């Protein structure tokens, strides 16, 4: 299944563009699922068919699903209380009834990620179009699976389960209950679920489409988003310049507004991805005819994946060079920290800890540079770890 993630600044029309993209793919004969994080029925308004927490067929070959985060959180908490019955009894804790449960911060995001995983694993569809939240929430959401998996592995290392046979003895000696099997089993299940979400996001065919109105605010948001997405290893497939005014609209719209639009469009044309303009209809799109008039780009069945290649320059320069595309990065806002077999990369407001490729783990960092939107990190082989005459 191909996955397209659609996001943009708040109010940019990203949900409408997602609906138009899904509708066009379905009209081309592709079995399509539109998964929306919108709390209101904006997709339904755009498509002219009400949507809800259960998947519905909004058009031929097009299914729309807006999962209910509150209901999923209640189900998860109820299941957790059932598994943790002994521990809760030991602590004297009172269980929560489903009716009194309200989502905690982050619960909605986790519920949506699980829905994304379920949708991507379905064999009923060929294309998954994901209507994501506004850019700041999306960038945090996309980082969540990898970060949570890292925290789980640090707090509950899988290898500690090897001491399962000694746990009752250690509990008696220490006088306190030791972590029960269900805790490790729960952590293992979460790790598997998060790994499935991460696999969808990092799949070679997954790509992002940004939606923004051409103007100063939209231009700033696009620059920030492009960098944040690139650091996650996600490719921006296209930029949808939404609600573009015609050049001859000077009698209706202020000349200054048209000048700002033209400046933003000219800047976007220099980006390393395709830019598509969507005209302003003069009203909110409603129904298949209006969505078809938006002329969103077709879905490319074979996108170019993001690559972070390691170039062998040992014969020429004595180093290996790790090429990491970071369009929009600024030199003085970059920072690198090597920690064991991991590398912390900070680019502006974004941070990511990535594992080093196996060959680079036997090297020391020899320097780095930023050229043409690409971070190039040089690694020199460590003589104590690098076999003579080979790798």
User: Is residue 389 one of the residues assigned to a domain?
Assistant: no
- For residue 12, the number of C-alpha atoms closer than 13 Å in the C-beta half-sphere is 31
49 touches 59 (CB < 8 A): yes
Residue 391 lies in a domain: no
Whether 390 is covered by a domain: the verdict is no
Specify the length of the chain in residues. Answer: 391
50 and 103 co-located in one domain: yes
Q: Strand pairing partners for 351?
A: 346
Which stretch, 45-49, 102-106, 130-134, 177-181, has highest mean pLDDT? Answer: 130-134
The pLDDT confidence band at residue 371, using thresholds 50, 70 and 90, is very high
Least confident of 45-59, 244-258, 320-334, 353-367: 244-258
Range from 65-74, 130-139, 146-155, 330-339 carrying the lowest mean pLDDT: 65-74
Kindly tell me the sign of the dihedral angle through the C-alpha atoms of 288, 261, 41, 207.
Answer: positive
Q: What percent of the chain has pLDDT over 70?
A: 84
Which range has the top average pLDDT, 90-94, 308-312, 382-386? 308-312
Q: 340 and 262 in one domain?
A: no
Residue 230 pLDDT greater than 80, yes or no: yes
Q: Are 280 and 339 in the same domain?
A: no
Same domain, 302 and 375: no
Q: Tell me which of 257, 290, 306 is where a domain ends.
A: 306
For the stretch 143-148, contacts whose Cβ atoms lie closer than 8 Å and that sit 24 or more positions apart, written own/partner, are: 143/232, 143/352, 144/106, 144/109, 144/110, 144/113, 145/113, 145/194, 145/195, 145/197, 145/198, 145/201, 146/198, 146/352, 148/190, 148/194
pLDDT of residue 176: 46
Higher pLDDT, 80 or 354: 354
Spatial separation of the C-alpha atoms in residues 112 and 94, rounded to whole Å: 28
Q: What is the CATH number of the domain that holds 155?
A: 3.40.50.300
pLDDT at 253: 73
Within-domain flag for 387: no
The CATH number given to whatever domain includes residue 341 is: 2.60.40.790
| Same domain membership, residue 280 and residue 136 | yes
My answer on whether 317 and 347 are in the same domain is yes
Mean pLDDT (whole number) for 108-129: 91
Total tally of structural domains belonging to the chain: 2
User: Which pTM does this prediction carry?
Assistant: 0.86
Q: Is the pLDDT of residue 7 over 80?
A: yes
Residue 143 domain boundaries = 1-306
Residue 274 sits in the same domain as residue 317: no
Considering the domain architecture, whether residues 142 and 234 belong to the same structural domain is answered as yes
Query: So what's the pLDDT on residue 80?
Result: 67
User: Do 277 and 162 lie in a common domain?
Assistant: yes
Query: Per the domain annotation, does 133 fall within a domain?
Result: yes
Residues 181 and 41 in one domain: yes
| Vertex 252: Cα angle to 248 and 256 (nearest 5) | 80
| Euclidean distance between CA atoms 141 and 132, whole angstroms | 9
Instruction: Answer yes or no: is pLDDT of 171 > 90.
Output: no
Report yes or no on 92 lying in a domain: yes
């Amino acid at each position: 299944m191909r996955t397209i993630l659609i996001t943009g600044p708040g109010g940019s029309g990203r949900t409408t563009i997602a609906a138009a993209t899904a509708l066009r793919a379905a009209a081309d004969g592709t079995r399509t699922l539109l998964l929306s994080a919108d709390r209101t029925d904006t997709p339904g308004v755009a498509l002219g068919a009400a949507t809800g927490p259960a998947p519905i067929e909004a058009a031929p070959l097009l299914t729309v699903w807006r999962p209910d985060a509150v209901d999923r959180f209640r189900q998860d908490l109820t299941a957790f209380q059932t598994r943790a019955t002994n521990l809760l009894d030991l602590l004297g804790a009172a269980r929560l009834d489903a009716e009194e449960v309200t989502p905690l911060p982050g619960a909605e995001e986790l519920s949506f990620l699980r829905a994304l995983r379920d949708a991507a694993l379905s064999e009923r569809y060929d294309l998954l179009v994901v209507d994501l939240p506004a850019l700041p929430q999306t960038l945090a959401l996309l980082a969540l699976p990898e970060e949570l998996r890292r925290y789980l592995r640090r707090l509950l290392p899988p290898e500690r389960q090897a001491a399962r046979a000694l746990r009752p003895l250690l509990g008696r000696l220490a006088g306190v209950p030791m972590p029960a099997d269900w805790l490790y089993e729960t952590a293992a299940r979460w790790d598997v679920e998060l790994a499935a979400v991460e696999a969808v996001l990092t799949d070679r065919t997954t790509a992002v489409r940004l939606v923004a109105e051409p103007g100063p605010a939209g231009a700033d948001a696009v620059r920030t988003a492009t960098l944040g997405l690139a650091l996650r290893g996600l490719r921006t497939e296209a930029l949808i310049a939404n609600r573009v005014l015609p050049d001859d609209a000077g009698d209706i719209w202020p000349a200054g507004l048209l000048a700002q639009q033209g400046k933003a469009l000219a800047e976007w044309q220099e980006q390393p991805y395709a830019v598509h303009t969507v005209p302003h209809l003069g009203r909110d799109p409603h129904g298949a005819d209006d969505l078809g008039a938006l002329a969103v780009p077709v879905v490319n069945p074979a996108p170019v994946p993001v690559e972070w290649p390691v170039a062998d320059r040992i014969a020429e320069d004595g180093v290996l060079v790790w090429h990491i595309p970071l369009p929009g990065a600024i030199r003085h806002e970059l920072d690198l920290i090597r920690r064991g077999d991991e590398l912390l990369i900070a680019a502006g407001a974004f941070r990511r800890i990535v594992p080093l490729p196996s060959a680079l783990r036997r090297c020391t960092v020899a320097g780095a540079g930023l050229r043409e939107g690409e971070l190039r990190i040089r690694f020199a082989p460590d003589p104590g770890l690098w076999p003579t005459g080979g790798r």
